[in-house]
Amino acid sequence: MDKEQEYAFTVNGFIFGSAEDKQLADQELNTAKYIEKKIAGKSPQTVLAIYRASIDKKMFRTPVGYAYMHELQKRMAKGGISAEEMGAIPLYQIFNNRHDDEKAPRVIKVKKKTEPLRRKNILLTIINIILVLLVIAMFAISMSGSRPTVLNYRRTIENEYSSWKQQLDEREKAVREKERELGIAYGNE
């Protein structure tokens, strides 16, 4: 690695083997600076709470973050907090490289738990599609059915009324024809 590449992958005095690792270290450095602003002048107990939260949330995974966590340990020790109370900084990498002659840095890929989430999302999407299809089917059945429902009661009643009116008109016409045949004159004629 030449000096220019070395500088391109350097963060806070550490040279990283890839652009992704350098980017992660830059993010951790910015996080450390933000935390530092927030805890400036705070009590050792506050620093301890932030330290523990950083460990629980796995906020730091590069040497830049580990160095910052070590600085927090020193600060808490000066403030009277014991090492047992602080706890150790957990490291999430394997450092024993069996190939000592290998010059290139070893990249360890952390498996993310996206596969179970992806399966859940697919399952939930399928269930949602089925439910939407069921709702559409229920509307179609209720709209096409002959019984009145909340959705189509007005149309059904209007249709029933118009059929009664048509039947009455036909009967009235038949009665008038009979009256004409018999020569009976009532009402309008």
Percent of the chain having pLDDT more than 70? Answer: 79
Q: Which residues contact 11 (CB under 8 A, 6 or more apart)?
A: 22, 25, 26, 29, 62, 64
Is 54 within the bounds of a domain?
yes
Which DSSP helix (H) or strand (E) runs through 65?
helix 63-78
Q: In the predicted model, what is the mean pLDDT of the chain?
A: 82
Higher pLDDT, 60 or 115: 60
Question: Which amino acid is present at 167?
Answer: Q
User: Contact, 65 vs 99, CB < 8 A?
Assistant: no
Residue at which a domain ends, from 46, 70, 86: 86
Q: What pLDDT sits at residue 40?
A: 83
Query: Against a cut of 0.85, is the pTM above it?
Result: no
Q: Number of folded domains in the chain?
A: 2
Q: What pLDDT sits at residue 139?
A: 83
Burial 44-61 (b: 16+ CB within 10 A, else e): beebbebbeebbeeebbb
Is 129 within the bounds of a domain?
no
**Residue 76 belongs to domain spanning:** 3-86
Q: Which residues contact 167 (CB under 8 A, 6 or more apart)?
A: none
Is 141 within the bounds of a domain?
no
Given a cut of 70, whether residue 103 has pLDDT beyond it is no
Count of other CB atoms within 10 angstroms of residue 82: 8
Tell me the per-residue pLDDT of 47-61, one tens digit each, with 9 for 90 and over: 888 888 888 888 888
Q: What pLDDT sits at residue 153?
A: 75
Given a cut of 60, whether residue 101 has pLDDT beyond it is no
